[in-house]
């Protein structure tokens, strides 16, 4: 209900209608249901040419098909300890991740698609099979919520992506929702394996600003060390500049690695911006697929 309420808040600006349209446009492939004919264009499959119609018109004509309505949607969610931390907006990262998965899963079920879930950290990978009802979405979101705690093992997206790439056999649309991390070479390799067979999109949940930029800035505690970050460190103007440069460089490096793999990505910093951010993600994916 929280997901649907948040979506309704944006409905008066046509955001949901646009997001709905972008979701439907990301699907590729086709069924055997013939639709109509059109002229051949460079890049079209030669096997799709209707030779009889071409002979009658003296213009190469292509058969168009109606795309299959049902697709496999798979969510891969990082449930490591870092996802229990506070995000960029001051909201729990887990809540932002739940909102993102909820919006996309809701759109999937509206289109007749079925959604499955993988949740994982350095110790284990859990799987929830496909379902296409709102009750199934609720169970998925509860599973994510219950899996992310301050006592969870650390994140290990190399392990998670490796296991998902091995276990995911049917062509799917895969949404990866992860902590605000850099891709190491092993992650890049596993991401490439997934992308070779599936359509993959990446959602990063933005880290909190660790610096104290105002007099009333609340204390910050590390989820790993359980120690408070010293106030004199957080208020240092020099360290603030270093921190800001580091954040910018990390974002650029992640975007660069995803771009090289042909994977659309987006960074979400708050629940409020989830819908608009997912719209950008789907639009980037659509453009990349048509390039």
Q: What is the DSSP string of 166-217?
A: HH--S--EEEEEEES-PPPHHHHHHHHHHHHHSEEEEEEEPBP--S--STTP
Residue 177: closest CA among 114, 227, 105, 107: 105
* pTM listed for this prediction: 0.81
Would you state the structure tokens that stand for residue 52, as one six-digit string? Answer: 């009889």
The pLDDT value given to residue 3 = 74
76: nearest Cα among 97, 99, 106: 97
- Residue located via tokens 């997934």: 194
pLDDT in tens, 216-259: 888 888 888 888 999 899 999 999 999 999 989 989 999 999 99
pLDDT of residue 130: 94
**Helix, strand and coil percent figures for the chain, each rounded to 5:** 45, 20, 30
What gap in Å lies between CA 107 and CA 275, rounded to an integer?
Answer: 11
The pLDDT, as a whole number, for residue 8 is 58
- pLDDT for 30 equals 46
Low-confidence ranges of the chain (pLDDT < 50): 10-13, 29-32, 66, 68
């Amino acid at each position: 209900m929280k997901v649907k309420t948040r979506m309704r808040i944006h409905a008066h600006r046509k955001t949901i209608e646009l997001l709905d349209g972008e979701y439907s446009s990301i699907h590729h492939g086709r069924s055997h249901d013939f639709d109509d004919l059109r002229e051949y264009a460079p890049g079209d499959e030669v096997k799709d040419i209707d030779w009889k119609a071409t002979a009658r018109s003296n213009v190469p004509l292509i058969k168009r098909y109606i795309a299959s309505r049902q697709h496999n949607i798979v969510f891969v969610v990082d449930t490591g300890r870092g996802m229990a931390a506070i995000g960029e907006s001051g909201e729990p990262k887990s809540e932002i991740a739940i909102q993102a998965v909820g919006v996309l899963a809701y759109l999937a079920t509206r289109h007749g698609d079925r959604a499955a879930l993988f949740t994982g950290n350095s110790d284990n990978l859990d799987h929830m099979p496909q379902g296409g009802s709102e009750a199934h979405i609720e169970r998925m979101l509860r599973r994510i919520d219950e899996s992310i705690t301050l006592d969870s093992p650390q994140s290990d997206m190399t392990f998670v992506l490796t296991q998902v790439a091995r276990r995911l056999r049917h062509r799917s649309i895969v949404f990866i929702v992860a902590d605000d991390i850099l891709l190491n070479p092993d992650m890049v390799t596993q991401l490439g394996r997934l992308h070779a067979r599936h359509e993959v999109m990446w959602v990063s949940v933005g880290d909190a600003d660790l610096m104290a930029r105002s007099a009333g800035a609340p204390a910050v505690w590390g989820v790993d060390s359980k120690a408070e970050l010293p106030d004199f460190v957080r208020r240092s103007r020099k360290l603030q500049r270093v921190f800001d440069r580091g954040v910018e460089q990390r974002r650029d490096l992640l975007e660069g690695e995803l771009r090289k793999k042909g994977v659309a990505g987006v960074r979400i910093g708050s629940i409020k911006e989830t819908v608009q951010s997912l719209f950008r993600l789907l639009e980037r994916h659509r453009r990349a697929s048509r390039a």
